[in-house]
Chains A and B, each alone.
Chain A
Amino acid sequence: MPANTASAAPSQPLWSPILLIPIAWFIPGAGHFLLGRKIRGAIVFGTVLVTFLIGVAMRGPLYHPAADGGDVLSRLIQFGGWIGDMAAGVFYFAASFMGYAPPDVAGYSPDYGSKFIVAAGLLNILAIVDAYEICTRQKD
């Protein structure tokens, strides 16, 4: 019946969330792009890329989950930082593949740099959640 079709349509996701989330994670902004929000996808891509590149330019070290030594808190910080780094998707893997591994030296600039790299991942997580909500029609 047309009435049932009309009432069922808004609850249907625009795209498969199971596919959309990993794509949006791996390529920042791709989730918005696939959902037809191309300008917003480009802004997400540019913002995450700029944030990541600033972190790299400041020679911020990447976190490693299996960093040896340290107490539980240090290992927790390393693991959380690693999750944040990984959340930047393809940028993290490209940097790792190209051998980006600056030493963890003292100084505020590398410290800020590592935080920028983590922030790039966290901004991408915000964008993934937004893409998921658009996909499931919770927002436009």
Chain B
Amino acid sequence: MKLDHFETTVIFALVSSVMLGLVTKRTDKERLRYGLYCFGCFMAALFGIGWAMRLLHG
């Protein structure tokens, strides 16, 4: 299987967010919200660092 960097990072963010949401909070609603929050943070970091590298390296 050949995935590009973006696809690989999104899949990693997804599985990590699922597990982090599952093990950290006490209610299902809190778990879902925390999982979505983690996924959003991963995505923000992905796009932020991606654009930073593009702007710095051209």
Chain A contacts to B: CB under 8 angstroms: 40, 43-44, 47, 50-51, 54, 57-58, 108-109, 112, 116, 119, 123, 126-127, 129-130, 139-140
Contact B3 A126 (CB under 8 A): no
Could you tell me the dominant secondary structure of chain B's interface residues? helix
Contact B26 A140 (CB under 8 A): yes
* A108 nearest in chain B by CB position: B5
Contact B26 A126 (CB under 8 A): no
Q: Which residues of A contact B56 (CB under 8 A)?
A: none
Given contacts A116-B12, A139-B26, A140-B26, A58 and B3 within 8 Å (CB-CB): yes
Indicate if B20 sits at the interface (CB-CB under 8 A): yes
Contact A40 B8 (CB under 8 A): no
Contact of A129 among B15, B16, B18, B23 (CB under 8 A): B23
